[in-house]
Amino acid sequence: MQSLYDISAPAKLNLFLHITGRRPDGYHLMQSAFMLIDWCDTLHFQVRADGQISREDLTWPLPQDDLITRAAKALQLHSQCPLGVHIGIDKSIPAQAGMGGGSSDAASTLLALNRLWNLNFSLQTLAQLGLALGADVPFFLGGHNAWVEGIGEQITTLQFPSARFVVVKPDAGLETKLIFSDSALKRDSKTAIISGFAAYENIFEYGRNDLQAVAQKLCPGVTQALVWLESQGLSGRMTGSGSAVFAQLLHDIDIQGAPRALQVRLCSNLDAHPLVGWATSDGLLMV
């Protein structure tokens, strides 16, 4: 068994995000297409024999009980594994961006420790642990671009054509709970079907993000980022609960001329997660 891994945790973009209703327990029902991109965090894992779970922040400080630490503790508790781990975290994906950075880190942690600790849990078992950490974690565990429904637990694998994107993150972030608790949030989008999405002329322009209007009200930086994309001849939209926005890159643009308040990055989509195949599927995770 190897004692050290350096692994990637990629971000995602929501090509669209529709809110179709709300459950009695308050959780919102959604439909979205999740796409992996090559903007990644890097996590460094080294096994500890003393059973302790320790963390080192290599870029900016993370909360003490972040999703990476919680994922490691949840897997250790579930497995009763006597081993521990030291995790060095090289963050690149911005926080409060709607890009799934925390959930991706948690998923990569579960996959890495499942192998490092020689646990051999299936994807279904890891997904059950992951869903308790965050709604997006099962998607990253699945390892493929996907149509996602429900509260994030209904996942159908999709394939997207290769494409380039420009992703723009304002200085300010957004708290998801503020958007979902806003009375102005649209919660009654018509239910879509995968075949309608797949048949769309350009799937990267399908639908809309129902959270965007509320996000623009709460965070002027979202509007600033969208306006800058428009100035470059691109039609942007927000990913997830923001505050990052993106557009398919259809021609060359001058990212050096972007306002200083905007972090701009050119990205490509991924066919699969870098850790796809690191856990076996029992046929229950993916639809």
What are the residue numbers of the active site?
A: 12, 136
Q: Which of 207, 209, 212, 188 is nearest to 196 (CA)?
A: 207
Residue 52, amino acid = Q
How far apart are the C-alpha atoms of 286 and 144, rounded to whole Å? 10
DSSP state of 187: -
Other beta carbons less than 10 A from residue 199's beta carbon:
10
Give the total residue count for the chain.
287
Q: Which of 135, 181, 172 is nearest to 14 (CA)?
A: 135
The two beta strands, 245-248 and 262-268, are: unpaired
Burial label for 125, CB within 10 Å (0-12, 13-18, 19+), is buried
How far apart are the C-alpha atoms of 17 and 28, rounded to whole Å? 12
Structure tokens of 45?
A: 């894992």
Q: Which of 9, 22, 170, 162 is nearest to 90 (CA)?
A: 9
